Protein backbone atom coordinates (compact mmCIF):
# COMPACT_ATOMS: atom_id res chain seq x y z
CA UNK A 1 0.00 0.00 0.00
CA UNK A 2 1.55 3.26 -1.12
CA UNK A 3 1.39 6.13 1.36
CA UNK A 4 2.15 9.55 -0.08
CA UNK A 5 4.34 11.99 1.81
CA UNK A 6 1.81 14.82 2.16
CA UNK A 7 -0.26 16.52 4.83
CA UNK A 8 -2.41 13.94 6.56
CA UNK A 9 -5.11 13.71 9.20
CA UNK A 10 -4.00 11.10 11.72
CA UNK A 11 -6.19 9.63 14.44
CA UNK A 12 -4.95 7.78 17.51
CA UNK A 13 -6.69 5.55 20.01
CA UNK A 14 -5.93 6.21 23.69
CA UNK A 15 -5.60 3.00 25.72
CA UNK A 16 -2.49 0.94 24.91
CA UNK A 17 -1.37 3.71 22.56
CA UNK A 18 -0.64 6.48 25.07
CA UNK A 19 -1.79 4.97 28.38
CA UNK A 20 -0.97 1.49 29.61
CA UNK A 21 -3.24 -1.14 31.08
CA UNK A 22 -2.73 -1.80 34.82
CA UNK A 23 0.57 -3.72 35.11
CA UNK A 24 -0.78 -6.43 37.45
CA UNK A 25 -3.84 -7.39 35.37
CA UNK A 26 -3.39 -9.58 32.27
CA UNK A 27 -4.31 -7.82 29.03
CA UNK A 28 -6.37 -10.79 27.90
CA UNK A 29 -8.66 -10.42 30.94
CA UNK A 30 -9.22 -6.71 30.33
CA UNK A 31 -9.92 -7.35 26.64
CA UNK A 32 -12.42 -10.07 27.57
CA UNK A 33 -14.25 -7.78 30.01
CA UNK A 34 -14.37 -5.09 27.33
CA UNK A 35 -15.34 -7.21 24.35
CA UNK A 36 -16.93 -10.31 25.84
CA UNK A 37 -16.62 -13.36 23.63
CA UNK A 38 -15.56 -11.59 20.42
CA UNK A 39 -13.00 -13.80 18.71
CA UNK A 40 -11.13 -12.75 15.59
CA UNK A 41 -11.41 -15.36 12.87
CA UNK A 42 -10.87 -15.21 9.17
CA UNK A 43 -14.17 -14.67 7.44
CA UNK A 44 -15.97 -13.26 10.50
CA UNK A 45 -18.83 -10.85 9.79
CA UNK A 46 -17.62 -7.77 11.61
CA UNK A 47 -20.77 -5.91 10.67
CA UNK A 48 -22.21 -7.64 13.77
CA UNK A 49 -19.39 -6.54 16.07
CA UNK A 50 -20.71 -5.64 19.53
CA UNK A 51 -19.03 -4.47 22.75
CA UNK A 52 -20.46 -4.85 26.23
CA UNK A 53 -21.36 -2.09 28.66
CA UNK A 54 -20.23 -3.09 32.19
CA UNK A 55 -22.71 -3.19 35.04
CA UNK A 56 -22.60 -0.90 38.06
CA UNK A 57 -20.17 -2.92 40.21
CA UNK A 58 -17.77 -3.45 37.32
CA UNK A 59 -17.95 0.26 36.50
CA UNK A 60 -16.88 1.08 40.07
CA UNK A 61 -13.96 -1.34 39.77
CA UNK A 62 -12.92 0.20 36.49
CA UNK A 63 -13.16 3.72 37.89
CA UNK A 64 -10.78 2.65 40.65
CA UNK A 65 -8.40 0.90 38.21
CA UNK A 66 -8.27 3.98 35.98
CA UNK A 67 -6.60 6.07 38.64
CA UNK A 68 -3.36 7.45 37.19
CA UNK A 69 -1.39 5.37 39.70
CA UNK A 70 -2.48 2.22 37.86
CA UNK A 71 -2.34 3.68 34.36
CA UNK A 72 1.21 4.77 33.53
CA UNK A 73 1.86 6.71 30.33
CA UNK A 74 3.52 5.00 27.38
CA UNK A 75 6.32 7.53 27.34
CA UNK A 76 8.00 6.47 24.10
CA UNK A 77 4.76 6.83 22.16
CA UNK A 78 4.06 10.23 23.70
CA UNK A 79 7.60 11.34 22.86
CA UNK A 80 7.17 10.20 19.25
CA UNK A 81 3.80 11.98 19.03
CA UNK A 82 5.36 15.24 20.18
CA UNK A 83 8.18 14.86 17.69
CA UNK A 84 5.62 14.31 14.95
CA UNK A 85 3.71 17.37 16.14
CA UNK A 86 6.84 19.52 16.10
CA UNK A 87 8.29 18.37 12.80
CA UNK A 88 5.25 18.06 10.54
CA UNK A 89 2.07 19.82 9.42
CA UNK A 90 -0.10 16.74 9.92
CA UNK A 91 -3.34 17.17 11.83
CA UNK A 92 -3.44 14.91 14.92
CA UNK A 93 -6.59 13.69 16.66
CA UNK A 94 -7.26 11.59 19.74
CA UNK A 95 -10.24 9.29 19.12
CA UNK A 96 -11.12 6.94 21.97
CA UNK A 97 -14.17 4.82 22.69
CA UNK A 98 -13.89 5.07 26.49
CA UNK A 99 -17.34 5.14 28.03
CA UNK A 100 -18.80 8.06 29.96
CA UNK A 101 -18.40 6.58 33.44
CA UNK A 102 -14.62 7.07 33.00
CA UNK A 103 -14.88 10.74 32.01
CA UNK A 104 -13.45 12.20 35.23
CA UNK A 105 -10.53 9.75 35.34
CA UNK A 106 -9.80 10.31 31.66
CA UNK A 107 -9.77 14.10 31.90
CA UNK A 108 -7.58 13.97 35.02
CA UNK A 109 -5.06 11.72 33.25
CA UNK A 110 -4.91 13.98 30.18
CA UNK A 111 -4.38 17.05 32.35
CA UNK A 112 -1.71 15.32 34.42
CA UNK A 113 0.24 14.33 31.29
CA UNK A 114 -0.40 17.71 29.58
CA UNK A 115 -1.43 15.82 26.46
CA UNK A 116 -4.28 18.02 25.24
CA UNK A 117 -1.99 20.53 23.52
CA UNK A 118 -0.52 17.81 21.32
CA UNK A 119 -3.78 17.24 19.41
CA UNK A 120 -5.86 19.29 17.00
CA UNK A 121 -8.97 17.64 18.38
CA UNK A 122 -9.95 15.19 21.14
CA UNK A 123 -12.98 12.91 20.85
CA UNK A 124 -14.16 10.49 23.54
CA UNK A 125 -17.18 8.20 23.49
CA UNK A 126 -18.71 9.66 26.65
CA UNK A 127 -22.23 9.18 25.23
CA UNK A 128 -21.69 5.39 25.37
CA UNK A 129 -22.16 4.48 21.73
CA UNK A 130 -20.88 1.16 20.41
CA UNK A 131 -17.11 1.75 20.09
CA UNK A 132 -16.76 0.70 16.45
CA UNK A 133 -19.76 2.81 15.39
CA UNK A 134 -18.47 5.81 17.35
CA UNK A 135 -15.02 5.59 15.77
CA UNK A 136 -16.41 5.04 12.28
CA UNK A 137 -18.55 8.17 12.58
CA UNK A 138 -15.73 10.35 13.96
CA UNK A 139 -13.19 9.14 11.39
CA UNK A 140 -15.61 9.89 8.55
CA UNK A 141 -16.63 13.27 9.97
CA UNK A 142 -13.03 14.42 10.45
CA UNK A 143 -11.90 12.84 7.16
CA UNK A 144 -9.12 10.97 8.93
CA UNK A 145 -6.66 9.42 6.47
CA UNK A 146 -4.61 7.32 8.95
CA UNK A 147 -5.85 5.71 12.16
CA UNK A 148 -3.89 3.87 14.88
CA UNK A 149 -5.56 1.42 17.29
CA UNK A 150 -4.65 -1.62 19.38
CA UNK A 151 -8.00 -3.37 18.75
CA UNK A 152 -7.64 -5.56 15.66
CA UNK A 153 -11.31 -6.62 15.68
CA UNK A 154 -12.34 -2.99 15.45
CA UNK A 155 -9.75 -2.22 12.76
CA UNK A 156 -11.00 -5.07 10.58
CA UNK A 157 -14.51 -3.61 10.85
CA UNK A 158 -13.26 -0.11 9.98
CA UNK A 159 -11.11 -1.37 7.12
CA UNK A 160 -14.17 -2.88 5.47
CA UNK A 161 -16.22 0.28 5.95
CA UNK A 162 -13.41 2.57 4.72
CA UNK A 163 -11.22 0.57 2.31
CA UNK A 164 -9.41 3.68 1.05
CA UNK A 165 -8.13 4.64 4.51
CA UNK A 166 -4.85 3.56 6.09
CA UNK A 167 -5.22 1.71 9.39
CA UNK A 168 -2.41 0.73 11.76
CA UNK A 169 -2.61 -2.05 14.32
CA UNK A 170 -0.22 -1.15 17.13
CA UNK A 171 0.85 -4.26 19.01
CA UNK A 172 3.84 -5.69 20.81
CA UNK A 173 2.60 -9.24 20.32
CA UNK A 174 5.20 -11.36 18.59
CA UNK A 175 2.90 -14.33 18.05
CA UNK A 176 -0.41 -13.36 16.52
CA UNK A 177 -2.54 -15.13 13.94
CA UNK A 178 -2.72 -12.24 11.48
CA UNK A 179 0.48 -11.28 9.71
CA UNK A 180 -1.38 -9.04 7.27
CA UNK A 181 -5.08 -9.08 8.21
CA UNK A 182 -6.28 -6.68 5.53
CA UNK A 183 -4.46 -4.88 2.75
CA UNK A 184 -5.21 -1.50 4.36
CA UNK A 185 -4.14 -2.57 7.87
CA UNK A 186 -0.44 -2.28 8.67
CA UNK A 187 1.12 -3.75 11.81
CA UNK A 188 3.37 -1.41 13.80
CA UNK A 189 5.12 -1.74 17.15
CA UNK A 190 5.09 1.91 18.19
CA UNK A 191 4.28 5.47 17.14
CA UNK A 192 7.97 5.88 16.33
CA UNK A 193 7.60 2.98 13.90
CA UNK A 194 4.66 4.79 12.26
CA UNK A 195 6.61 8.05 12.07
CA UNK A 196 9.75 6.45 10.64
CA UNK A 197 8.19 4.22 7.99
CA UNK A 198 4.76 5.45 6.95
CA UNK A 199 4.59 9.25 7.22
8 Å CB contact between 76 and 18: no
Q: For 71-76, what is the mean pLDDT?
A: 96
| Nearest-10 crossing angle of helices 152-161, 131-142 | 50
Q: For 65-82, what is the mean pLDDT?
A: 94
- Nearest 5 degrees, angle CA 60-CA 137-CA 193? 80
Note the pLDDT of residue 40: 45
Q: For 78-97, what is the mean pLDDT?
A: 96
Look up the pTM and report it.
0.87
More confident residue, 197 or 107: 107
Note the pLDDT of residue 178: 63
8 Å CB contact between 101 and 62: yes
What average pLDDT does the chain have?
A: 86
Q: What's the CA gap between 70 and 137, in Å, rounded?
A: 31
CATH superfamily, with its number, for domain 9-198? HAD superfamily/HAD-like (3.40.50.1000)
Amino acid sequence: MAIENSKKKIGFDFDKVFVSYPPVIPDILIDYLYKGNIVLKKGNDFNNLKYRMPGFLEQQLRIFSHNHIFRPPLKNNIKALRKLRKNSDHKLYLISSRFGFLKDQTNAWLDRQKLRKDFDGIHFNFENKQPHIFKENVIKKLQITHYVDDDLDLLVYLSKKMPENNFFWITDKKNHSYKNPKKNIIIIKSIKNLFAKYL
